[in-house]
Amino acid sequence: MKNLLVGFVLLSSLLANNFVNAAEPNLDVNTPAIIAIKASMTARHSQLLPHYVSGAVGLTKDGFIAVKDATAVPLRERSGINSLVADENIDRAKLYKEIAAGNGHPEWQNDIQNTFAGRWIDKAQAGWHYQSGGAWVKK
């Protein structure tokens, strides 16, 4: 019986430790993979910026971007905008995946994506477009 009690105390202290660790989480966003994705996205941003401003591209509610109004782009740039958006979305998907995996919780990917979705829109500049419900809204 004593042994059992000692075991139980050990077990509960171990669990308490786990709880302390879980209560103080800090997401690591500086793994080599994440740094590379950030650099790629930062470089692309200067090309995307005019499209956010013109309304050609908007922020989707699920943490990606989409071509909202291709007619806002000069004809000769229209093919470029699709690949620009596609590349950005590939990077974003990788980013969400890497943050989850890099912190040892691949199952967090969707939660991280949802968190980002809200934060992108929150930090978007006035005049940019984002998806709300099924419609595009100008911020």
Partner 1 sequence: MKKWLIGLSVAAGLSACVTINIYFPAAAAEKAADKIIEEVWQLKDGETKSGAPTPESAPDPVPDAKPADAPAK
Of 4-12, 68-76, 77-85, 129-137, the segment contacting partner 1 by CB under 8 A is: 4-12
Tell me which amino acid residue 36 is.
A
Give exposure, 3-20, as e/b (b: 16+ Cβ within 10 Å). Answer: eeeeeeeeeeeeeeeeee
User: Looking at beta carbons only, is 42 or 83 nearer to partner 1?
Assistant: 42
Q: Which of 120, 129, 130, 131: binder of partner 1 (CB under 8 A)?
A: 120
* Least distance to partner 1, CB of residue 85, Å: 15
Site for partner 1 in 14-53 (CB under 8 A): 15, 18-19, 22, 25-27, 29, 34, 38, 41-42, 45
User: Looking at beta carbons only, is 61 or 78 nearer to partner 1?
Assistant: 61
137 binds partner 1 per the rule CB under 8 A: no
